[in-house]
Amino acid sequence: MTDNAVAVTLLDRVQAAPEIGRAIPDAATGETIGWSPEHSVADVDSAVARAKAAQPAWEGLGDEARSALLLRAADAIDAHAEELAHLLSREQGKPLDGPNARFELGACTMWLRETATAQLGTQVIRDGDDDIAEITYRALGVVAAIGPWNWPLMIAIWQIAPSLRMGNTVVVKPSEYTPLSVLALVQVINDVLPADVLIPVVSGDREVGARLASHPDIDKVMFTGSTATGRKIVEASGANLARLTLELGGNDAGIVLPDADPAAIAEGLFWGAFINTGQTCAALKRLYVHDSIYDEVVDALAAVASQMPMGNGIEGGNVLGPLQNAKQFDIVRRLVEDAKQRGRRIVVGGEPAADLGPTFFQTTLVADAEDGDPLVDEEQFGPALPIIRYSDVEDAIASANRLEAGLGGSVWSSDREAARAVAARMRAGTVWINSHGTIHPKVPFGGVKGSGYGLEFSVEGLKAVAEPRVIAG
Ligand code: NAD
């Protein structure tokens, strides 16, 4: 049996009959790969009711038993990793190879295991003879996990794992663009978990997400997606007072200081910007390079960019794929066309890669871009990086900080201390030095400003899906 045949078997367990399902295309070819079930608002209500009924017994199992079940779920995902990676690659478009589909499956189990074993004990605040104050954490109730289409499995795990660990039950709503791979992941996890602890609802109708976020029995919404939808979720929480973790859009700046070594940083810059073909929340989306090494950095980056193979993800060797959907392709094409109209310099790419498929866009570097260009100021979420020249680092810091987004940022330098001093002045949830987007399950992650609020990962992530209780006296 080939890997593909195995993937079809898992797909068959989760997909709907063609007569009632919604056709889901292969992101690279447009060919239908399966049919997604279509849940209604009434299905959301029933899922939340079942999750609420299951929650006390799940919490009552105790932390040790929940941790053990999550570790078993990680083993089950490992056992299905190849089939899940194939389905993900076809549905999302990301190649199997490179920091893409197989890498995403590896991240799923890494995060699941770390979350299953992180320790959030009682926090003792005061410990006098007659004066004790401590904080303990218990479950909130039912968590809504609403996700995007770019890293659909990894982000689902980020939302699901801490919620379950703390004794909450979860209703998970994948993006309408990538339902099948998330359904398959949930199926594998549910082979291990008790019934109704983790329930998927899927739909192409945005009413389903809206109902879930505003449902009176939802206690917490873990949301990753656009800033526009994030605002709607904040409004919805006015009614149910659900706690929120919002991981929203980013427009991360990278600042290359004059003492950086262009050859040494070029590959890191490339993957910081082009991981998942640029469709990554905390990717490097605008690069500010000091005038004194500007040409060397552009040349070094161009050398790396031009040798990275792009193509259909399930064909081995490709490390860049298509845009996941036509809407995102149109955004990237519009922004690059606008840059050309402004006379910006196309160093690499600049055109659709129509020979590869309808939503492929060439790996694109746009030099001599400027603040105010739509390609700089808007989130491109695709394989087109604007490079901006600066001569005073104060200007670069001001440029980096001037937009609404505040997810990540990076500083590139041969002098770590100088880089840290610049990093400390950047308004972003995380600022990396000599890398971009390198996340770890033990290191908290979250946005500031328009990129949202709330921390994920580590014990901070566990606290975010828990109800604190202070006992004092
Ligand atoms: P999106 O906001 O369009 O959709 C995200 C999810 O919200 C989908 O499941 C969608 O069905 C659901 N939804 C839509 N309307 C809703 C409503 N009114 N109430 C509740 N749910 C609703 O985002 P997208 O296009 O899928 O994802 C791309 C965006 O996500 C980019 O801006 C990217 O930067 C951001 N993103 C952020 C992070 C992060 O960690 N900060 C990670 C990945 C993606």
Sign of the C-alpha dihedral, residues 177, 180, 183, 185? negative
Pocket test for ligand 1, best of 223, 229, 453 (most atoms within 8 A of CB): 229
User: Residue with the nearest Cα to atom 26 of ligand 1?
Assistant: 148
- The two tokens of residue 150 are 């770019």
Q: From CA 77, how far away is CA 355, in angstroms rounded?
A: 35
**Ligand 1 lined by 381 (C-beta under 6 Å):** yes
Identify the residue whose tokens are 């670069």: 396
CATH of 3-248+448-472, one of 3.90.950.10, 2.60.220.30, 1.10.730.10, 3.40.605.10: 3.40.605.10
Q: From CA 144, how far away is CA 447, in angstroms rounded?
A: 19
**In degrees rounded to 5, what are phi and psi of residue 369?**
-70, 165
In tens, the pLDDT along 116-147 reads: 999 999 999 999 888 999 999 999 999 999 99
User: Residue with the nearest Cα to atom 42 of ligand 1?
Assistant: 281
Q: From CA 223, how far away is CA 239, in angstroms rounded?
A: 17
Structural contact between residues 362 and 415, judged by C-beta atoms closer than 8 angstroms: no
Identify the residue whose tokens are 């002098």: 415
Separation of CA 150 and ligand 1 centre (Å)? 9
In tens, the pLDDT along 312-358 reads: 999 989 999 999 999 999 999 999 999 999 999 999 999 999 999 99
Pairing of strands 408-412, 252-256: parallel
Pairing of strands 243-247, 220-224: parallel
Q: Which CA distances in Å does 443 have to 5, 455, 461?
A: 38, 10, 10
Q: What is the CATH number of domain 252-433?
A: 3.40.309.10
Structural contact between residues 6 and 82, judged by C-beta atoms closer than 8 angstroms: yes
Residues in a beta bridge with 445: 456
**In degrees rounded to 5, what are phi and psi of residue 194?**
-65, 160
Give Cβ neighbours of residue 285 (< 8 Å, ≥ 6 apart).
250, 251, 252, 253, 273, 278, 379, 380, 385
Active-site annotation holder among 247, 404, 417, 460: 247
Pairing of strands 452-453, 466-472: unpaired
Decide if 64 is catalytic: no
For residue 221, give the ligand 1 atom closest to its CA: 20
330: left (phi > 0), else alpha (psi -120 to 50), else beta?
alpha
Helices (H), ranges, 202-325 = 206-214, 227-240, 262-274, 294-305
Separation of CA 110 and ligand 1 centre (Å)? 23
For residue 249, give the ligand 1 atom closest to its CA: 34
In the chain, where are the structural domains located? 3-248+448-472, 252-433
- The two tokens of residue 180 are 């099948």
From first to last of the 473 residues of the chain, give the pLDDT tens digit. Answer: 445 554 458 999 999 999 999 999 999 999 999 999 999 999 999 999 999 999 999 999 999 999 999 999 999 999 999 999 999 999 999 999 999 999 999 999 999 999 999 999 999 999 988 899 999 999 999 999 999 999 999 999 999 999 999 999 999 999 999 999 999 999 999 999 999 999 999 988 889 999 999 999 999 999 999 999 999 999 999 999 999 999 999 999 999 999 999 999 999 999 999 999 999 999 999 999 999 999 999 999 999 999 999 999 999 899 999 999 999 999 999 999 999 999 999 999 999 999 999 999 999 999 999 999 999 999 999 999 999 999 999 999 999 999 999 999 999 999 999 999 999 999 999 999 999 999 999 999 999 999 999 999 999 999 999 999 999 98
Q: From CA 419, how far away is CA 433, in angstroms rounded?
A: 7
Separation of CA 459 and ligand 1 centre (Å)? 25
Decide if 247 is catalytic: yes
Give Cβ neighbours of residue 254 (< 8 Å, ≥ 6 apart).
269, 272, 273, 284, 286, 287, 288, 409, 410, 411, 412, 436
Separation of CA 340 and ligand 1 centre (Å)? 29
H/E element holding 159? Answer: helix 152-165
